Amino acid sequence: MEDKGFSAKSSADRRKRFIALIVLIAASFSVYAVYLFSLQIVNGLEYQSRATQVARRVVSIPAARGEIYDRNYDVPLVLNIPSFAVDVIPAEVPRTELPILFTRLAEILEISEESIHDKIRPEHYHLYQPMEVLSGVSFGTITRIAERIEEFPGVTWRDKPIRSYLETGSLSHVLGYVGNITSEDLQVLYNQGYERNALLGRMGIEKQYDQVLRGKDGVSFKTVDVKGRSVSQESAEDIPPETGKNLVLTIDRHIQTLCEKALGERIGSVVVLKPSTGEVLALVSYPYYDPNIFNTRGEYETYKELSLDSRFPFLNRAIQASYPPASSFKLIMTTAVLEDEVFNPEKKINCEGQIRYGDRTFSCHVKHGHGPLNLGEALAQSCNVFFYTMGTEYLGVERIVDFSRRFGLGQITGLDLPGEKKGLVPSPQWKEEVYNTHWLGGDTVNISIGQGYLSVTPLQMANAVAMIVNEGVNYRPFLVKEVRDPVTGEVLKETEPTVLHTSSIRESTFQKVKEYMRGVITEGTARYVILTDAVEVAGKTGTGEAGFEESWNSWFVAYAPYDSNDPDEQIVVVVQVEPVNQWEWWAPKAADMIFHGIFTGQTYEEVTEELKNVWYLRELRERE
């Protein structure tokens, strides 16, 4: 009986436990069912949206850069051509194998391993995102990688147009080049819409107008897994990129080529300026570089190689190098003498070839002297003794400094290119601050003929001549004439001439200076050099010692036509040749060819042939 009672009790307990278990399971299922209902039905849309946001990635589609044209707007100077970029997805490659991969890539892409390590650093090794190694890769190189793809795990490639510079001569300093954005660049420019692997203008117009040329990047959406690997591509919502705007320059490529060939392989520069507006028609600096080499080789290697060139091909000598203006500065001295009436311009000073000042003797470039000269004759013959006398006895350093600044020397012109230098107009105060010494009389003697501490850029001298031509006004030089729509060609923005300086100097003073400048050509130092009969030129030669025996800076600053009353017809030409070149007094010779070519519409080859005949006929006349 006891056993039966115990058995019945145990059975009842088991039943209770079973019922409790069933209730617990049912309750659990009910709770989970309610929770799932809440997740999927009540809050389903919210969580679905959150999940989509976590899984979705936004990929930038780079915009094609705008094209660049010269003032004729017929043939592009810069455009985009199809090419490829090679990427590496670091996380798809075991860390121990990455150095081997980088070595193989460097070999086949013909770049240094250092440049790859610089772009894919250890902190990037965990990323599943493609990281660009090199752009501008040819189809042939991509084919060689594809044929040996098992040797290149994690390597991919994609279409990426590159910049093609059709005019690769001296326009390189104007146009500049583009390179891939660096991590350092991105930290500064990220908030301006730049992304990793974007192209960035490095020099010239490409850098100055990068925001205009780069356009607006598009957006592509894709879904990825938890490791960032692509699962699917969603193209329906993609936003296409907007091509950058086209630029039309003030440069005339025909004049640019003429100036480039006239200068030749001589270290120096040429500026051709339209004084009535400030438009730069040509800007030449030699030596130059080919910006296309940044497409075919790594940017790091190319930049390093060019930077080590002792001739400094990256330097735009027209705006980034300053020199003593030598005798071309005598135009400012002459203006000061006439304007302030410190000396009768018809009165003569006798040049005996040298002048004693303090305990030093200062020489004229004609050792036996010029004899008696008035102001106009002194400018024509570039007599140092005359201008030594003007500077020390009649003008003084403060007046010379004042007129120099009135002409814009010692100040940037505001040209729309990066890196312009302002040169230097020294003063007694400046010398005290920099050298902690007093200004001496010898310093005034030197500055009176454009030597000593005084330094100017060729563009500044072009603007100074423009002020003389315009009789008291000059304009900010500029290079971009128009911004145009890349599809329709519609002019979206046009640069208006902007007054840079307005002088209080009398118009009659400038008119007299122009008359004297014409005398330099007809009776003075340029008489046997300026041969062109296509136009009347007015100008000033400049020859300055550079501190070495038989080493000279050669300048020629001029404008034409002298006899025109139409400002739109007149142009300013400035040529500067550095003293490292063999002494040929080349600046006025080059300017002669440039003026002749511009006003006859001839090429350099046609100009040289025609000027040979002019020279021959002049020799015959003088013999008679």
| pLDDT tens-digit readout, 201-241 | 999 999 999 999 998 878 777 665 554 455 555 555 778 88
pLDDT of 124: 87
Give residue-wise pLDDT tens across range 418-454.
999 999 999 999 999 999 999 999 999 999 999 999 9
Give residue-wise pLDDT tens across range 231-273.
555 555 778 888 999 999 999 999 999 999 999 999 999 999 9
Continuous H helices in 382-522: 384-389, 397-406, 428-435, 441-448, 458-469, 507-522
Answer whether 476's CB lies under 8 Å from 277's CB: no
Answer whether 326's CB lies under 8 Å from 318's CB: no
Strand partners, 248: 69, 482
Strand partners, 88: 131, 155
Peptide bond into 345 cis (omega under 30): no
Structure-model confidence comparison of residues 71 and 38, the more confident one = 71
Reading the block at residue 298, the tokens are 């790594």
Length of the chain: 624
What single letter denotes the amino acid at residue 234?
Answer: E
Q: Which fold has domain 83-160?
A: Ribosomal Protein L30; Chain: A, (3.30.1390)
Distances (CA, A) of 449 to 329, 366, 440, 617: 6, 14, 15, 35
- Count of C-beta atoms within a 10 Å radius of residue 175: 25
What's the CA gap between 369 and 449, in Å, rounded?
A: 16
Reading the block at residue 261, the tokens are 């060939």
**To which H or E segment does residue 446 belong?**
helix 441-448
pLDDT band for position 112 (cuts 50, 70, 90): confident
Nearest Cα to Cα of residue 102 among 49, 151, 167, 35: 151
Answer whether 191's CB lies under 8 Å from 31's CB: no
pLDDT of 588: 95
**To which H or E segment does residue 84 belong?**
strand 84-88
- Average pLDDT of span 158-164: 85
Reading the block at residue 402, the tokens are 């004042």
Strand partners, 162: 81
pTM of the model: 0.84
> Quick check: 1 pLDDT over 50?
no
What's the CA gap between 325 and 332, in Å, rounded?
A: 11
Answer whether 550's CB lies under 8 Å from 568's CB: no
Q: What angle do CA 81, 85, 91 make, to 5 degrees?
A: 165
> Quick check: 498 pLDDT over 60?
yes
Lowest mean pLDDT among 112-126, 257-271, 367-381, 469-483: 112-126
Q: Which residue has the tokens 């997740």?
A: 39
What's the CA gap between 462 and 286, in Å, rounded?
A: 18
pLDDT of 227: 47
Reading the block at residue 391, the tokens are 């500077």
Please report, for the chain, how many H helices and E strands are present, in that order. 22, 25
Which range is most confident: 48-62, 287-301, 306-320, 451-465? 451-465
What's the CA gap between 271 and 254, in Å, rounded?
A: 14
How much of the chain, in percent, has pLDDT values that exceed 90?
61
Strand partners, 571: 560
Average pLDDT, the chain: 88
Q: What angle do CA 519, 539, 425 make, to 5 degrees?
A: 120
Nearest Cα to Cα of residue 379 among 538, 273, 533: 538
Answer whether 66's CB lies under 8 Å from 79's CB: no
pLDDT band for position 40 (cuts 50, 70, 90): low
pLDDT of 407: 97
**To which H or E segment does residue 594 belong?**
helix 586-600
What's the CA gap between 343 and 168, in Å, rounded?
A: 51
Reading the block at residue 105, the tokens are 């890539």
Reading the block at residue 286, the tokens are 């030699």
Report the C-alpha dihedral over residues 369, 374, 378, 384, rounded to 10 degrees.
Answer: 60
Give 485's contacts (C-beta < 8 A, 6+ positions apart). 245, 246, 492
For 295-415, list the strands marked E by DSSP.
349-351, 354-357, 360-363, 371-373
What's the CA gap between 390 and 445, in Å, rounded?
A: 9
Q: Which residue has the tokens 């299922």?
A: 29
What's the CA gap between 565 and 545, in Å, rounded?
A: 37
> Quick check: 53 pLDDT over 80?
no
Sign of CA dihedral 293, 295, 299, 301: negative
- Average pLDDT of span 475-489: 97
Strand partners, 159: 84
Give residue-wise pLDDT tens across range 318-372.
999 999 999 999 999 999 999 999 999 999 999 999 999 888 999 998 989 999 9
Using a CB cutoff of 8 Å and minimum separation of 24, what contacts does 604-611 make?
A: 604/257, 604/258, 604/261, 604/262, 607/258, 607/262, 611/531, 611/532
> Quick check: 47 pLDDT over 60?
no
pLDDT of 50: 54
What's the CA gap between 287 and 83, in Å, rounded?
A: 29
> Quick check: 74 pLDDT over 90?
yes
Reading the block at residue 147, the tokens are 């044929």
Structure-model confidence comparison of residues 182 and 466, the more confident one = 466
What single letter denotes the amino acid at residue 177?
Answer: Y
Nearest Cα to Cα of residue 477 among 344, 596, 546, 571: 571
Nearest Cα to Cα of residue 380 among 514, 555, 561: 514
> Quick check: 413 pLDDT over 90?
yes
Continuous H helices in 38-175: 44-55, 98-109, 113-119, 139-147, 172-175
